[in-house]
């Protein structure tokens, strides 16, 4: 079986690793970027289920290798600094077999992509998908530079603006701007390590941070009614941008101001989009995974974890099913309802970040109840376990061992 993976980000690189472990080595990854040098992104949280999914594909050491640090639980504060709710995570290791890990996104991506390339999986850079044609005996991908690749299956791991999704389902729903621009980074601070992630419903914007070894990892959600143009936030004037961020949080509690005073730049800024639920994720030869199928709000802390779970589940099905179509049907049955439930939960949390005077009081009074009601959902997410993929022998390895 020949598999073409479109998109070499976290989802695509994890899938390449999982397919290799499953013994499927006729895999090509096509990436639109010219290299991974501009992978970008600030940082993310890999939840216990994401850590366990990495372990299931034989790469449970990735978080440590990528410089991550464990952090379980969240404290929520209102604009005056009072803690109004918490999600305790002290027993995550005992309950789920892993704790959450905070990582710089580019380091996680880089570690996954480097390992995938070391397996011998070719990565084609600068490959912009232009067309997808199904044939009776497979599928053909046509790239804008004239390159074509014939395969038995195409997997779209190319993110919220997926070209695979657009070309395969031209009438499918498109991402909708949420009115929030996300930005963040890290800065050296004179603050103690965080026992939990610290979230602040500020007067004018939502802010989150965690401190490890005198480095604060921070983000803020900037309200903006009009949708930024696609390249508008590239190459920001950092002094001006950071002045805007500090002004947004000028009346917020001391820890927020201390982190922002120490931060001289953000790693970037990204509009947040919501992808409506899709009618289907697959055809006979084509399937979507990760954000291409179920873009999840950063509020859920589940984006990377769901993508890695998708990769592990799909690799096992492609190994065991008689045809790609059967594998894809099984994948949709296993993953679609679960992932969309996580997306809906993340959307509910995100809606509560919208700051307004009238809603703030209601939010403060009801957030604890909402989080208690959501505890079951969080337990379902963290407790989701992907079956371990046994390391299948590869032809080249077997020949070498026999010699």
Q: Are 256 and 208 in contact (CB under 8 A)?
A: no
Identify which of 227, 224, 260 has the alpha carbon closest to the alpha carbon of residue 242. Answer: 260
Place of tokens 């950063």: 298
Q: What is the pLDDT of residue 350?
A: 59
CA–CA dist 7, 364 (Å, integer)? 41
CA–CA dist 257, 250 (Å, integer)? 7
pTM of the model: 0.92
Q: Are 60 and 18 in contact (CB under 8 A)?
A: no
Q: Are 130 and 140 in contact (CB under 8 A)?
A: no
CA–CA dist 96, 20 (Å, integer)? 26
Beta-carbon contacts of 251 under 8 Å, excluding residues fewer than 6 positions away, are 79, 202, 203, 204
Q: What is the pLDDT of residue 210?
A: 96
- Interstrand relation of 176-188 and 153-156 (parallel, antiparallel or unpaired): unpaired
CA–CA dist 47, 70 (Å, integer)? 10
CATH 3.50.50.60 domain residues, the chain: 3-68+98-175+276-353
Q: What is the pLDDT of residue 366?
A: 54
Per-residue confidence of the chain (403 residues) as pLDDT tens digits?
A: 999 999 999 999 999 999 999 999 999 999 999 988 765 678 999 999 999 999 999 999 999 999 999 998 888 888 889 888 788 888 999 999 999 999 999 999 999 999 999 999 999 999 999 999 999 999 999 999 999 999 999 999 999 999 999 999 999 989 999 889 999 999 999 999 998 999 998 889 999 999 999 999 999 999 899 999 878 888 889 999 999 999 999 999 999 999 999 999 999 899 999 899 999 999 999 999 999 999 887 767 889 999 999 999 999 999 999 999 999 999 999 999 999 988 887 776 655 555 444 456 555 555 665 566 556 777 888 899 999 998 876 654 433 333 3
Q: What is the pLDDT of residue 35?
A: 87
Q: Are 143 and 164 in contact (CB under 8 A)?
A: no
Length of the chain: 403
Q: Tell whether domain 176-273 is in CATH 3.40.50.300.
A: no
CATH 3.30.9.30 domain residues, the chain: 176-273
Q: Are 69 and 101 in contact (CB under 8 A)?
A: yes
Q: What is the pLDDT of residue 399?
A: 37
Q: What is the pLDDT of residue 355?
A: 47
What CATH number is given for 3-68+98-175+276-353 in this structure? 3.50.50.60
Tokens describing residue 251: 């009346």
């Amino acid at each position: 079986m020949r598999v073409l993976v479109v998109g070499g980000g976290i989802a695509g690189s994890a899938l390449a690793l999982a397919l290799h472990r499953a013994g499927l080595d006729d895999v090509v990854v096509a990436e639109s970027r010219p290299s991974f040098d501009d992978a970008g992104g600030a940082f993310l949280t890999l939840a216990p289920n994401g850590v366990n999914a990495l372990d299931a594909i034989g790469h449970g050491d990735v978080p440590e290798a990528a410089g991550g640090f464990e952090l379980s639980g969240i404290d929520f504060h209102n604009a005056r600094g009072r803690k109004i709710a918490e999600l305790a995570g002290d027993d995550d290791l005992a309950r789920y077999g892993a704790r959450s890990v905070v990582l710089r996104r580019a380091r996680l991506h880089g570690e996954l992509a480097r390992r995938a390339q070391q397996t011998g999986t070719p990565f084609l850079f600068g490959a912009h998908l232009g067309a997808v044609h199904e044939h009776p005996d497979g599928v053909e991908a046509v790239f804008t530079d004239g390159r074509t690749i014939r395969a038995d299956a195409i997997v779209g791991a190319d993110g919220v603006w997926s070209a695979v999704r657009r070309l395969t389902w031209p009438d499918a729903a498109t991402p909708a701007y949420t009115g929030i621009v996300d930005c963040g980074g890290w800065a050296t601070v004179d603050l103690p390590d965080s026992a939990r992630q610290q979230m602040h419903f500020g007067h004018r914007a939502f802010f989150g941070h965690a401190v490890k070894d005198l480095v604060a990892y921070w983000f803020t959600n900037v309200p903006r009614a009009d949708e930024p143009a696609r390249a508008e936030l590239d190459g920001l004037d950092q002094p001006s941008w950071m002045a805007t961020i500090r002004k947004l949080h000028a009346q917020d509690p001391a820890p927020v101001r201390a982190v922002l005073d120490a931060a001289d730049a953000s790693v970037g800024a990204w509009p947040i989009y919501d992808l409506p639920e899709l009618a289907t994720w697959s055809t006979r030869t084509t399937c979507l995974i990760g954000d291409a199928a179920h873009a999840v709000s950063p509020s859920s802390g589940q984006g990377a974890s769901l993508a890695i779970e998708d990769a592990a589940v799909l690799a096992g099905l492609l190994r065991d099913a008689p045809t790609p179509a059967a594998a894809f049907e099984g994948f949709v049955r296993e993953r679609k309802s679960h992932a969309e439930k996580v997306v809906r939960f993340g959307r509910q949390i995100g809606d509560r970040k919208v700051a307004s005077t009238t809603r703030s009081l209601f939010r403060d009074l009801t957030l604890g109840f909402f989080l208690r009601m959501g505890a079951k959902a969080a337990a379902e997410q963290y407790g989701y376990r992907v079956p371990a993929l046994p390391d299948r022998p590869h032809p080249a390895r077997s020949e070498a061992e026999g010699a």
